[in-house]
Amino acid sequence: MRLEQSHRTERFGAVRIHELQRVIQLDSGDAPGTGSDGVVSHAAIRAIERELVVVIPCMNETRRVIEGVLSGIPHDCLIVLVSNSARQPVDRYEIEMQTVEQFCRAAERPAITVHQRDPGLAAAMKAAGMPELIDDDGLVRSGKGEAMLIGMAVAALTGRKYLGYIDADNYVPGSVHEYVKVYAAGLHLAANPYAMVRISWHSKPKLRDGRLFFNRRGRSSEITNSFLNRLIAEYSGFGTEVIATGNAGEHALSLELGLRMRLAGGFAVEPFEYLDLFEQFGGVLDAAHPEVMATSVPVLQIETRNPHFHDNKGEEHVQGMRMQALNVLYHSPISLPAVREAILEFMVAQGVLAPGQEPPHERIYPPVGSLALDLLRDVLEAEAGGFRVFGTGALAARASLPHSVL
């Protein structure tokens, strides 16, 4: 793969945000790559894929679409499907498990599935040290961020080094394939133990008056990006458009970084990742991880080639997503008065907040690295009927489970 070279970065303390880089070639031939030419060899991509867990958050998506997503994930990556699909009147999770099992058999590879609302999972998360994740029914809360957190915890049980997220509602297996290749290429080029790669898809096709129209940006991203950029600009004193991936559902990171990060619930999860990096490693608040501060945290943003063609869940859904992003930004301890004012003005103009009201708080969870992973695994295996491991070699040997990084 050949990526556009990345020359410019914006700093926020130890966080180095790279300007958007395009994919120049999906396949760059046999060139070995020098590191600085943007070329990443097949061998380098494969080496990352062997260490990569791909987590698929899934809630009531159709079987055919899920099959397509599975088919697009490179063979050596380990698939973890985290489902919040209905179990009644039809047990959709049962169908998903069968789909994954058949795929694993046909493709001769392992995978793991888990259901977010499995009482055994709730017991395991509680035992491992994260009671915050449990709701009044005694189950893990619903929400995409919560699913991503579960996925990260399971990824930590595999002994692999990297984690990437892929939505289950993607209609184009080729784009899934490209996203994962880009994760691997970006993580290789970052060459840093605390790295993140975020995808900005090239376009989102919509039918308009009988013709396909390729939108360049999502309706939620534009707002989220502009406010995140405003935050950076307020600190630096210089306007910037560096952040192009505030809402990126498709992103990957090293587990060394992921295990230190706090994740937000619901759809606040992706924009909050930026905020958490700024809060923890931005140099504004006290830093709990000197080892990360000393190394820096590169965030690569990569524009892919395939159109992003997924299920359209409507305007209300997009508005909800947008507001969750602004809620976390408003309440971040590093948010500045000018940014807060602008958010309030925007929300009032949108009619989602009455003048004088404050935006609601989103849930912020402790880092997955604070969990007792051995307990998590014991209780999952003993009590979570929906925790299924297909094939062999998916989970790490117990003795090699990483110790808490915190």
Q: Which residues bind ligand GDD (CB under 6 A)?
A: 57-59, 61, 82-84, 116, 142-144, 147, 167-169, 218, 221, 247, 249, 267, 270, 310-311, 313, 317, 321
Is residue 88 helix, strand or coil? coil
Q: Quick one: CA torsion of 63, 66, 72, 73, rounded to 10 degrees?
A: -130
As measured in angstroms, the least distance from the Cβ of 118 to ligand GDD is: 12
**32 versus 138: smaller Cβ distance to ligand GDD:** 138
As measured in angstroms, the least distance from the Cβ of 20 to ligand GDD is: 15
As measured in angstroms, the least distance from the Cβ of 34 to ligand GDD is: 33
Q: How far apart are CA 91 and CA 328, in angstroms?
A: 34
**156 versus 223: smaller Cβ distance to ligand GDD:** 223
Q: How far apart are CA 48 and CA 217, in angstroms?
A: 29
Around Cβ 50, how many Cβ atoms within 10 Å? 16
Q: How far apart are CA 169 and CA 57, in angstroms?
A: 9
Q: What are phi and psi of 107, to 5 degrees?
A: -95, -5
**115 versus 126: smaller Cβ distance to ligand GDD:** 115
**139 versus 376: smaller Cβ distance to ligand GDD:** 139
Q: How far apart are CA 338 and CA 249, in angstroms?
A: 28
As measured in angstroms, the least distance from the Cβ of 221 to ligand GDD is: 6
Contact by Cβ (8 Å): 122, 395 = no
**83 versus 192: smaller Cβ distance to ligand GDD:** 83
As measured in angstroms, the least distance from the Cβ of 237 to ligand GDD is: 29
**Single-letter residue type at 403:** H
As measured in angstroms, the least distance from the Cβ of 294 to ligand GDD is: 31
**57 versus 72: smaller Cβ distance to ligand GDD:** 57
Start-to-end CA span in the chain (Å): 35
What DSSP state is assigned to residue 321? H
**2 versus 204: smaller Cβ distance to ligand GDD:** 204
As measured in angstroms, the least distance from the Cβ of 116 to ligand GDD is: 5
Q: How far apart are CA 133 and CA 339, in angstroms?
A: 29
Residue nearest ligand GDD, Cβ-based = 249
Q: How far apart are CA 274 and CA 164, in angstroms?
A: 16
